[in-house]
Structure 1
Amino acid sequence: MDSNSFKIYSSTAELPETWDRVAVNNAFLQTPYLKVLEDSAPTNMECFYIGIFENTELIGVALAQYLDLNKLESFGERDKCIKKAIRNFVFKNFASHTLFLGNNMITGQNGYAFSKEMNFECISKLLIECSEAIVAYFKKKKITIHIVSFKDFYQECAVELKKNDFSTVYEFNAQPNMIFELHPDWKTNEDYVASFSKKYRDQYKRARKKCEEIEVKELSLEDIQLREKRIYELYHYVAQNAPFNTFFLAENHFSTFKKQLKEELRFCGYFLDGKLVGFHTLLLNGEVLETYFLGYDEHIQKEKMLYLNMLYNMTKYGIENQFKKIIFGRTALEIKSSIGAQPIFMSGFIYHTNKYVNKYIGFIFKNLEPELIWQQRHPFK
């Protein structure tokens, strides 16, 4: 452990040459994606890239994100209730400066990667030390970080972290990550549909019939740039109607993403009478297909069952291109389970830098996080 050190970078231009070799198994930690964050991050976000060294050799990489919630136009408009008003007041006044170790924009264990086997005693110590260094950096700038959160760990990792330096940090479980492990026997979309029980096969046929007038096209960089304003309108509607938000994407995010990731990002547009009424995006991450942001016209979505058809189309792409699994992320848990995704529970860790407030972090978190009630569907025979 004594030979390990870390360095925090604020620009991708400063990153060591071997960065992508260490991050080879995770596209969300490789420089093309980090450049997307650098060039089109949400206006209230600042990113930090952490290099972890053994002597002088880079052996680990990590991502941290600072969010200034004072700059946010809205925390989300879907829920209209007293709890939402209280939650918004608390966040504005006691948690407006938040530091995430990990990626707050996506779901999954995408916060760090190592090129060699590392024990969790070492990992937990490094993550805590990195967070403390960034908190100190902001303190010098007269900015007090209120909340520090370590985001998204699969259960086996969370258990190990809890045995070490995370033992005194409050562990929380948010909505599960919906992951679809694709059956190796499915070679075509027809194989997938044939595996449904009658109820869900009928649902599939009904949804497809509703969407017959919709034309689905993959968009190039030029197509995305031409429709940037409309794309943002569709994204923004969905984002604003989420139960809770800590950021909104920049308007040029999708064109910047396509420019950097090229064929690794698939952008599918949904057109009705020549007008863009929805879109979904997919990131090709090795053998894993990652769903990214989407958007749609509210009225077309209801009439044409657009969201459900998007889920079917993403699954079809995953099967036909022989991906092992699809990461569908959080939210809309029930409808995602109806197409075959399973809930995988993940943990996060969080603390408040004010020791008095931190004593009650568990109580505060439980009362601000709405209880999620949903019914898991089982679509297969």
Structure 2
Amino acid sequence: METITYKIFTAVAELPKSWDGVSHDNAFLQTPYLSVLEESAPTNMQCFYIGIFEKEELIGVALAQYLNLNKLESFGERDQCMKTYVRNFVFKNFASHALFLGNNMITGQNGYTFNTKIEVQKIGQILKQCAQEITSYFQKQKIKIHIVTFKDFYQEGASELKNAAFSEMYEFNTQPNMIFQLKSEWKTNDDYVAAFSKKYRDQYKRAHKKFDGIQTRELSLEDIVLMEDRIYQLYFYVAKNAPFNTFFLAKNHFSAFKKQCGNRFVLIGYFLNNELVGFYTLLLNGDTLETYFLGYDEHIQKEKMLYLNMLYSMTKFGIENQFKKIIFGRTALEIKSSIGAEPIRMSGFIYHRNPLINRYFDKIFPKLEPTLVWQQRHPFK
């Protein structure tokens, strides 16, 4: 560790010129996406960009995000029950200032990347030091960080971290990341549909029949700017009806994304009688297709099965453009499994800066998690 140092930046313009060379394998750590965050992060979020150096050479980059949950009007309105009220009270009063080492806006191991091999234990030590420095930064501003979270890690890396740098932290597993490994023999969407068992092929046909009358097209930057209010209205309906939220996107987020990332960011609009009734977004990340935020009109969604048709459309895009896998994230697990995605367990590590609360975190945290009951579907022959 004696030759490895780090520097924390608060502006993309300050980043070393070699930043994108180091982060070339992950679009979520490259400067175009970081510029999206800088231009249109949620109003309750502040981002920090971490450069990791060996001597004077940049060898790794990482992202940290501070969230002020006091600025949220709602944590999510779908589940109105006593457990939800208790959870919201606890978060508001004991966890309202949160620091994430990683990206709290997406699912997947997108918190850091290196261009050289480095032990997971060393990575953990660096991330902990960065967390301490950012915590001190806020302390000087009279802001007390309540909780520090390190997210998301696939199981091999999580096990190594648990045995070393993160041994004293509470390891948590929330909903799994739904990932669809696309088969190399699928060259067209017809190949994919032919692989379904009869039950799921019938589901596909039924969804497409319901979809009749909907026109779809990819929106340009000019289109997105023109329809920004409607896009946000559709996004916000879905977001506020999620079981739990720690942020809401800024209204200009999608236009900022298109402006910064160009053809690597795709927004597909769904129209009925020339009115935008739904949309979904994708980020092209090497050989991985990343699904991003979406939105829809509640009534049209039910009538036209918009959400299921969106999932089929994303899959078709992935197959026809020869992606190896699609990251579908950690919501709507059952319906995503019905189109072929499979659950991949991911871990995070968390600690509370109040020693008494932290001591009992293993008992407190599970009680705050929404109970999740779902059945994995197996759609292929």
Matches of 2:206 and 2:364 in 1, distance apart?
Answer: 44
Question: 3-state SS of the aligned residue for 1:295?
Answer: strand
State the Cα distance separating 1:146 from its structure 2 match: 0.1
Shift of 1:371: 2.0
TM-score normalised according to structure 1 size: 1.00
**Cα RMSD (Å):** 0.4
| 1:116 match: secondary structure | coil
SS in 2 for 1:128: helix
Distance 2:110 2:233 in 1: 28
Alpha-carbon separation, structure 2, partners of 1:209 and 1:14: 52
1:311 aligns with 2:311: yes
Q: How big is the shift at 1:363? A: 1.1
- Which whole-Å CA distance do the structure 2 matches of 1:373 and 1:15 have between them? 44
Residue type of the alignment partner of 1:321? N
Provide the residue aligned with 1:223 in structure 2.
Answer: 223
Divergent runs of 4+, >3 A: none
2:244 is matched with: 244
Q: Report the equivalent of 2:272.
A: 272
| 1:289-304 map, 5 Å | 289-304=289-304
Alignment-derived partner of residue 61 in structure 1: 61
One-letter identity of the residue aligned with 1:295: G
Report 1:60-209 matches (<5 A). Answer: 60-209=60-209
- Per-residue deviation, 1:364: 1.1
Identity of aligned residues (%): 71
Q: Residues 218-276 of structure 1, C-alpha deviation per residue, up to 9 Å, x if partnerless?
A: 00000000000000000000000000000000000000000000000011000000000
Distance 1:235 1:206 in 2: 25
Q: 268-277 or 360-369: which moved more? A: 360-369
Give the whole-Å Cα distance in 1 for the aligned partners of 2:279 and 2:63. Answer: 28
| Distance (Å, rounded) in 2 between the aligned partners of 1:4 and 1:74 | 41
Gaps of 5+ in 2: none
Match for residue 364 of structure 2?
Answer: 364
How far apart, in 1, do the equivalents of 2:279 and 2:271 lie? Answer: 9
Match of 1:259 in 2: 259
Query: Is 2:38 the counterpart of 1:38?
Result: yes
Give, in whole Å, the separation in 2 of the partners of 1:220 and 1:144: 42
Shift of 1:17: 0.3
CA positional deviation for 1:124: 1.0
Counterpart amino acid of residue 14 in structure 1: E
| Secondary structure class of the residue paired with 2:137 | helix
TM-score (norm: length of structure 2)? 1.00
3-state SS, counterpart of residue 365 of structure 1: helix
Distance 1:120 1:239 in 2: 34
Q: Which structure 1 residue ranges, 5 or more long, are not aligned?
A: none
Q: How much has 1:322 moved relative to structure 2?
A: 0.3
